Amino acid sequence: MNTEILQQVIADQKLMVARKSRGIPRNTNIERHLKSDMISVISGVRRSGKSTLTLQLADNYPSFHFITFDDERLINFTVNDFNAMLIEMKRNADARTIVMDEIQEVPGWERFVRRLHDEGYKVIITGSNAKLLSSELATHLTGRYLKTELFPFSFVEYLNFMKIDQAIKTSDNIALILTAFDEFILHGGFPEYLKSNDQEVLKRVYDDIVYRDLIVRFGIRNVNGFKNLAQYIFTNFTSETGYLPLAKLLGFNSATSIKEYLNILSEGYLIFEVTKYDFSLKRQYTSNRKIYVIDNGLRSVVAFRTSADMGRLLENTVFLELKRRGNDVWFYKSKGNQEADFLINPTQPELIQVCYDLQNPKTRQREISSLTVCMQELNLEHGIILTKNDEEVINSGNMVIDVIPVWKWLLLPN
């Protein structure tokens, strides 16, 4: 690569870093990265704040080098240019910490990162491609890295951003929290959107991921089919479906294409596939699945609106929080086809049901009955129903169900 352009990029990005706001502290365990000499990996959807988090981390070191490969001037950067980049960085400043942002843009990056680590550098990298990044880490950097997955703002982070103190219990402050929750459910937590309140920001994020990160990177030929599938998923998120029904509905020739495209959407952190919990792994992998999306705000600008939106947005919010807290997540179906929305901690199972409200007697009976049947099958004495506003304790035989407003549950400590 042209040395003069490389020098210009390094100098420009150094100035950008000096001017860049460090934002609000994120609810991640940044201390474990500081206590370790291992490679720090921050992964997550594009524009979720990975660069800001890496700078918050890097600021704890005496000095650091920074480069983001999400720069059009580096479009021809290859693995062979890494050493020249390192030389230019050393000429610019003496630092033993190196931050490399959106590193998945450079094929073969992992060998250079391994060399830096072996030479005693503290290396911090970010990436927006879930499985590609994971496979490269597993192949070349096993035992050498700590990984943190970053999502758009949680509700706690949203309140911090809005400067609302959740610890204040006055009626006026609770009213502020409830109003903020209504906004959070609809508009999600992408930091850049919250700064501008401009939905075009979310549309650009979605287009960048779908076109640049996925269609171009994976060489997708059936562009319209891929876009239609993504929009269908974003419209019908949280619903149970299967590869074959989706293929028939959307006019694909095979269920295999649907599976491949859903995997690609997952790699871009746009969606998450959740399978039914089953003691048979074969049945678990071949069963239908439910699909959740990365952010309610992103969903709202992409999808067609339906009458079921608020319930789905509430369920998606709960799913994202379970993932933020580091849980593997399944849904559970009883032998009689009763369903619990979420199962976590399979060694000591916890069941969580999400329902917009329990005011309608038929809805109340259905939700409680479904959860208690699933609890009985798993020999559980405690379950949770999360709602928009309802709060109570339900006793059913030897079982106890806590009904908790989602906003309160989101504020509970992990």
Helix 243-250 to helix 255-267 angle, to the nearest 10 degrees? 100
Residues (pLDDT < 70) of the chain are 132, 307-308
What's residue 148's pLDDT? Answer: 94
pLDDT tens per residue across span 296-330: 999 999 987 776 699 999 999 999 999 999 999 99
What's residue 152's pLDDT? Answer: 98
Residue 8 to residues 2, 20, 96, 150, Cα–Cα distance (Å): 10, 18, 21, 30
Q: How far apart are CA 228 and CA 238, in angstroms?
A: 17
What's residue 132's pLDDT? Answer: 64
What's residue 307's pLDDT? Answer: 67
Give the DSSP letter string of 150-181.
Answer: E-S--HHHHHHHTT--TT--SHHHHHHHHHHH
pLDDT tens per residue across span 14-29: 999 999 999 999 999 8
The HSE-up count of residue 303 (CA atoms within 13 Å, CB side) is 23
What's residue 92's pLDDT? Answer: 85
Average pLDDT, the chain: 94
Q: How far apart are CA 409 and CA 183, in angstroms?
A: 17
What's residue 283's pLDDT? Answer: 75
Domains identified in the chain and CATH numbers: 3-150 (3.40.50.300), 321-414 (no CATH)
Short-list 267, 262, 260, CA closest to 131 = 267
